[in-house]
Amino acid sequence: MVTLDQEPRLSDEVRDALHDGAPVVALESTIISHGLPRPLNLALAHELESLVRAGGGVPATIAVLDGVARIGLGKGELERLAEEDGLRKLGVRDLGPAVGLGVSGATTVSGTAFLAAAAGIGVFATGGLGGVHRDWVTTQDESADLGLLARTRIAVVCAGVKSILDVPATLQRLETLSVGVLGYRTDEFPGFYLRSSGQPVDWRADSPEQVAAVIRAREALGTPGALIVANPVAESEQLDPARHGQVLADALAAADQAGVTGQAVTPFLLAYLVEHTGGASLEANLAAVRGNVRLAVEIAQALRDPGGAPRPEAGSGRPA
Ligand code: PSU
Ligand code: MN
């Protein structure tokens, strides 16, 4: 009989960083295992961790490996996520079965946010959230990301929700669920591959310090749920909007034709876009994720400095 290790396991580095109050940024793994083609996925996994470190933070990539929920991965573990066949896609409801049955899988935004918050990590960076699908009326397909974010105190830096979704419906659902949404240096909700989805956002922040002030205020007030920090891709890096519209229509038709349902829908549509934009959607996707990780570590740094005071130079002697 196997004895399962059922407690989430923090890497030594993440544990020390949390103990010392150092900035930690959680990273999801579904984008690595199911969202991006090989071998680029492994390169990106390493690059995102490097971006967190370059910003003075500690990365905590999250996944379940052989039934152990891990927060902070080593090199070999990142390689497994990028290269192993048959890894599951784990939303929050899948964590129990994966751990209980000793299975390996990559965590989605819902699975990652749950484990990160449980470990005491306050900032999480990803590409785009899941949301309400365009055919929701018949399929009721709405990502578990939304419901989980309504119940979980964490700041999620993202480039909006994937444009394959019904963006206005997703924003409406976020409002109903009382999930906070803050545009970062924008008054329009980003469109993942596109700088703007065309939908307005009610609130904006223009610096990491302002985002940190909002996070602190939410904590002081005790308002529930997550704060979405919606950070658009640079105009120079976005997918051409006309091309995006055409290929997306084709992708939705192809998914319908192929009868794709459930967890397979998002990976199918993302892969279709990569193939049929000659990789341009991939470039925009990568640019968005990189930008989100850079901003997330700046926010995590700003959260360390009450009042947004300038950080001391290294060796200035101020006690940590
Ligand atoms: N954004 C990406 N690539 C992805 C995802 C988001 O650029 O692969 C993943 C995230 O992990 C998100 C998940 O939580 O897709 C949503 O899947 P679903 O719609 O099945 O809930
Ligand atoms: Mn779904």
57 lines ligand 1 (CB under 6 A): no
* Each residue's pLDDT tens digit, 173-188: 999 999 999 999 999 9
Whether residue 189 has pLDDT greater than 70: yes
The residue whose CA is least distant from atom 18 of ligand 1 is 143
What pLDDT sits at residue 163?
85
Q: What percent of the chain has pLDDT over 90?
A: 88
Q: Which atom of ligand 1 is nearest to the CA of 31?
A: 8
Ligand that lies nearest to the alpha carbon of residue 131, given by its number in the listed order: 1
One of 77, 162, 188, 209 is an active-site residue; which one?
Answer: 162
What pLDDT sits at residue 99?
97
28 is an active site residue:
yes
Quote the CA–CA distance of 173 and 278 in Å, as a whole number. Answer: 33
Q: Is 141 annotated as a binding residue?
A: yes
Q: Where are the alpha helices (DSSP H) in the chain?
A: 12-20, 30, 40-54, 75-83, 92-100, 109-119, 136-139, 144-150, 167-176, 208-221, 241-258, 265-276, 280-304
Tokens of 293: 């990780």
Structural domain spans, the chain: 4-304
Q: What residues pair up with 161 in beta bridges, in sequence order?
A: 129
For the whole model, what pTM was predicted? 0.92
What pLDDT sits at residue 320?
39
The residue whose CA is least distant from atom 16 of ligand 1 is 130
Tokens of 68: 């152990």
Correct CATH for 4-304 of 3.40.30.10, 3.10.20.30, 3.40.1790.10, 1.20.140.10? 3.40.1790.10
248 contacts 240 by C-beta, under 8 angstroms: no
Quote the CA–CA distance of 17 and 136 in Å, as a whole number. Answer: 41
Residue type, 21: G
Tokens of 130: 């899941």
What does DSSP assign to residue 103? Answer: -
* Peptide bond connecting 39 to the previous residue in cis, omega within 30 degrees of 0: yes
What pLDDT sits at residue 316?
40
* Each residue's pLDDT tens digit, 12-50: 999 999 999 999 999 999 999 999 999 999 999 999 999
Query: Could you give phi then psi for residue 265, rounded to 5 degrees?
Result: -65, -50
